[in-house]
Amino acid sequence: MPGRIEDYAIIGDLRTAALVGRDGSIDWLCCPRFDSHAVLAALLGTDQNGHWRIAPPGAGSCTRRSYLQDTLVLESVWEEPAGSVRLLDFMPLSGEGRGPCVVRIAECLRGSVRLRSELRLRFGYGQFVPWVRSVGDAHVAVAGPDAVWLYSDVEQHGEHLATTSESELHQGDRLAFVLSWQPSFQGEPPRTDAESSLRQTERTWREWTATCSYQGRWREAVIRSLITLKALTYAPTGGIVPPATTSLPEAVGGSRNWDYRFCWLRDATLTLSSLLRTGFVDEAAAWRRWLERSVAGSPQDLQIMYGVAGERWLPESELTWLPGYLGSRPVRSGNAAAGQFQLDVYGEVLDALYLARNSGLAPLHHVWDIECAVVDFVERSWRQPDDGLWEIRGERRPFVHSKVMAWVAFDRAIRTAEQFGLAGPVERWRAVREEIHREVCERGFDAVRNTFTQSYGSAELDAALLLIPRTGFLPAYDDRVRGTVDAVAAELDHGGFLRRYSTGDDPGTSVDGLTGTEGSFLACSFWLADALAATGRRREAEELFERLLGIRNDVGLLAEEYDVVGHRQVGNFPQAFSHVGLLDTALRLTGHPHRPPVHGT
- The per-residue DSSP string of 178-230 comes to EEEEEEGGG-SPPP--HHHHHHHHHHHHHHHHTT----STTHHHHHHHHHHHH
Which H or E run includes 400? helix 400-420
**Pair (192, 253) in one structural domain:** no
571 Cβ contact list (under 8 Å, min separation 6): 5, 248, 249, 250, 518, 519, 559, 560, 561
- The answer to whether residues 601 and 437 touch, using CB atoms and an 8 Å cutoff, is yes
Which amino acid is residue 35, in one-letter code?
A: D
**Pair (195, 297) in one structural domain:** no
Torsion of CA 228, 233, 239, 243, to 10 degrees: -50
601 in a domain, yes or no?
A: no
- The answer to whether residues 262 and 314 touch, using CB atoms and an 8 Å cutoff, is yes
| pLDDT averaged per 10 residues, the chain (length 601) | 93 97 98 97 97 96 98 98 97 82 98 98 97 94 96 94 97 98 93 96 96 92 96 91 96 92 86 84 83 74 86 93 96 90 92 86 82 94 94 89 98 96 96 98 98 96 96 97 98 95 60 76 97 96 98 98 96 96 94 53 40
347 in a domain, yes or no?
A: yes
Give pTM, 2 decimals.
Answer: 0.94
Nearest in space to 118 (alpha carbons), one of 180, 160, 173, 65: 160
**Pair (203, 326) in one structural domain:** no
Query: pLDDT digits over 175-213, tens only?
Result: 999 999 999 999 899 999 999 999 999 999 999 999 998
Q: Per the structure, how many domains does the chain have?
A: 2
- The answer to whether residues 573 and 557 touch, using CB atoms and an 8 Å cutoff, is yes
**Pair (198, 218) in one structural domain:** no
Cα(163)–Cα(166) distance, integer angstroms: 11
Domain with 16, as residue range(s), is 5-207
**Pair (149, 255) in one structural domain:** no
Q: How far is CA 150 from CA 140, 164, 529, in A?
A: 6, 11, 47
Nearest in space to 592 (alpha carbons), one of 266, 347, 273: 273
538 in a domain, yes or no?
A: yes
- The answer to whether residues 408 and 351 touch, using CB atoms and an 8 Å cutoff, is yes
**Pair (288, 175) in one structural domain:** no
466 in a domain, yes or no?
A: yes
Which of 190, 207, 224 is the last residue before a domain boundary? Answer: 207
140 Cβ contact list (under 8 Å, min separation 6): 132, 133, 147, 148, 149, 150, 188
Query: pLDDT digits over 251-297, tens only?
Result: 999 998 999 999 988 887 888 888 888 888 888 888 888 887 877 76
Phi and psi torsions of 491, nearest 5°: -85, -25
**Pair (57, 102) in one structural domain:** yes
Give the length of the chain.
601
Cα(190)–Cα(196) distance, integer angstroms: 14
Which of 207, 233, 252 is the last residue before a domain boundary? Answer: 207
Q: Would you state the pLDDT for residue 601? A: 40
- The answer to whether residues 306 and 263 touch, using CB atoms and an 8 Å cutoff, is yes
Which of 207, 222, 245 is the last residue before a domain boundary? Answer: 207
414 in a domain, yes or no?
A: yes
- The answer to whether residues 44 and 325 touch, using CB atoms and an 8 Å cutoff, is yes
- The answer to whether residues 518 and 256 touch, using CB atoms and an 8 Å cutoff, is yes
| Other residues' Cβ atoms within 10 Å of the Cβ of residue 543 | 14
Phi and psi torsions of 409, nearest 5°: -55, -45
410 in a domain, yes or no?
A: yes
341 in a domain, yes or no?
A: yes
Q: Would you state the pLDDT for residue 2? A: 84
**Pair (170, 201) in one structural domain:** yes
CATH number for position 253? 1.50.10.10
327 in a domain, yes or no?
A: yes
Q: Would you state the pLDDT for residue 392? A: 82
Q: Would you state the pLDDT for residue 509? A: 52
**Pair (199, 240) in one structural domain:** no
Exposure string of 339-375, with b = 16+ CB inside 10 Å and e = fewer, is ebbbbbbbbbbbbbbbbbbebebeebeebbebbbbbb
Which H or E run includes 469? helix 468-471
Cα(220)–Cα(513) distance, integer angstroms: 40
**Pair (338, 400) in one structural domain:** yes
| Other residues' Cβ atoms within 10 Å of the Cβ of residue 167 | 16
| Other residues' Cβ atoms within 10 Å of the Cβ of residue 194 | 22
Which amino acid is residue 9, in one-letter code?
A: A
**Pair (178, 231) in one structural domain:** no
- The answer to whether residues 293 and 371 touch, using CB atoms and an 8 Å cutoff, is no
CATH number for position 35? 2.70.98.50
Nearest in space to 245 (alpha carbons), one of 43, 398, 540: 43
**Pair (105, 224) in one structural domain:** no
